Amino acid sequence: MSAENDVLEVTIDRMNMEDLPQILEIEKESFPAPWSPGMFINEMNNPAAQCICARVNFDKKSVVVAYTIFRFVVDVVHLHNLAVKNQFRRQHLAFNLLDVIEEIAKKVGINAITLEVRPSNTAAIELYRQRGFVVKGRRPNYYPETKEDALIMWAYLK
């Protein structure tokens, strides 16, 4: 898996069980209703799911700084989760993960990606817009904890 980042030396590879404590920390700081450890373990054990991590060397250690989880659903990639550690945001790590998702999708002949996002999540909406995603629909009351709708975004790969 490859990604280029002008600022950080980033390695992108598969998520593993040892990554879980760091991922849970990022998850907690990123979402109002964070995924449980069991949800991550289910995805890691599910052959239909792709679980990818971005790591950088920090304080002489390899640190997980971002991750994404997505599934192939027939001929579409469904993006289930994507988050970047707070102190590493705005360094194009999310762009790096989207590059890898697109690379994997193209390899298996998939050219469409869809996801749900909260209308209040302006950072994520702007990120996805920058990558060619457009809003195609809305799911009412999708997020029970805040009773928010979800915007459904789609991107078609060239």
What share of residues in the chain are helix, strand, coil (percent, to 5)?
Answer: 30, 40, 30
Listed in order, strand segments (DSSP E) in 31-133 are: 49-58, 61-73, 76-84, 112-117
Compute the least distance from the CB of residue 130 to ligand COA, in Å: 5
**Residue number, 83 or 110, with CB nearest to ligand COA:** 83
Question: Which helix (H) or strand (E) is 153 found in, with range?
Answer: strand 148-156
For residue 143, indicate whether it is catalytic. no
SS3 call for 82: strand
CB closer to ligand COA out of 13 and 126: 126
Nearer to ligand COA, 80 or 157 (CB): 80
User: Residue 103 catalytic?
Assistant: no
Catalytic residue among 25, 103, 116, 143: 116
- List interacting residues with ligand COA (CB under 6 A): 30, 82-84, 89-95, 115, 117, 121, 123-124, 126-127, 130
Q: Are 69 and 78 in contact (CB under 8 A)?
A: no
Residues annotated as catalytic are 116, 128
